[in-house]
Structure 1
Amino acid sequence: MLEEILLFMAIGFAAQMVDGAIGMAYGVTASSVMMSMGVPPSTASASVHVAEMFTTGASGFAHWRARNIRPELVWRLALPGMLGGALGAYLLTEIDGHIIQPFISIYLLAIGGLILWKALHPRLPRPDMAPNRVRALGVTGGFLDAIGGGGWGPMVASTLIGAGTTPRYAIGSTNLAEFFVTLTISATFVATIGLHLWPAILGLVLGGVIAAPFAAMVTQRLPDKPMMILVAVIIMLLSLRNLVEALDKMMG
């Protein structure tokens, strides 16, 4: 058990270093690695989301203290996101992992592509999103986050910033809303499949906590662009490998 905890501490450490450095991709990084190790999609997503409850809670509180949130934006994202997250988590537990894994790998591949695109293209400001579009974004982001084990940040924050929302409010509000979405997704997994990989969850949490101060230092010294490109390439390669393996199993 100690070896397993240490392994997932390393994964949690790496994922938190990524997230702390570029403000996103904890879930997709950890989920991509876990799935490449053979962990079923539902178990990977459940483990990552329970661990993320701690990181998103701390992050959301920090943004609230720093006044980086807009309350109306938080709730327009959080409430629909909780609904989408619960539906996504329930669907993931009802579908055989071997069937859904290729689709999840494609989704994670697309998220990697989104991060890469974001790194290579400047943001073009546009008018603020209408409230109904924000709610639709919340539902979609929550659903896909639960299905893929991550992706809320890259999808929601990127869309808001691209739509003209002030970056500090987009990132802060997305982070605080993510806590409520993650809490709902975790509760859905507990109620349906339970939690079996406690060593994995403990390792992810410990690794993330240890990495947090180092990630903050990396943020100060490393430019965003090369870090985002590196993370995007790693996620895309892992997802591509998972997709090839899943398709081989289906065809074999």
Structure 2
Amino acid sequence: MTGDNILYDIAIWLVPLVVAIVFHEVAHGVVANHFGDPTAADQGRLTFNPLRHVDPVGTVLLPLVLAITHAPIFGWARPVPVRAERLRNPRVHMMLVALAGPGMNLLLAVAAAMLVALLLGGSGQEPQGAAAFLTDNLVNFLLINVFLAIFNLLPVPPFDGGHVVEGLLPRPWAAQYARLGRFAFPILVVLLLVVPLLFPQANVVARVVSPIATFVATGLLWLVGLGA
């Protein structure tokens, strides 16, 4: 169920990615608002309008390049603002806010798997036309959401997993660890570009994130009756 042209590939990858990352960011804001920080709500970020969340590089340019080159698709949106000091229990609630994004992605992945199973209906026949396009989008939506969930749980800033680690560390260590957040963009560049180029055997995405994401996605499909 793969397209044979670039426009088709972009259509079945970019739309699922944008939806996945928008829901991810909104989940952060909703949970933060629930625990006492209305910053995202005050700035109008608790909306599913993608224009309020789009990052030109992370949401559009990078995914387009990856889709065209047939590389693994991922990206990011503008982070929803969260002020930990406004949360009722900053350490605990900040961890829950961080986990809300990956948690939302996993819920969306489960929903996508169920919808794919409903579309295929156990017939074993390859869908055609609009059904094929919808199925391709849903399968990619499943893969993207699982990948984003695992990727964002990496235990280093600026990922959500980094906030979880910060909340679990003793306070003096947590303060030192939090300072790494100032180097968020360089960390991303080094982790995603420099390390894979210089040390392919240490490629975190290829050797850690992708295998786990593949295992989880395959497991979800198996649970809905689409296993091999």
Using structure 2 for the length normalisation, give the TM-score.
0.31
Instruction: Compare the two structures and name the one with the higher helix fraction.
Output: 1
Rg comparison, structure with higher value: 2
Using structure 1 for the length normalisation, give the TM-score.
0.29
Could you say which structure has the greater relative contact order, defined with CA pairs below 8 angstroms and 6 or more residues apart? 1
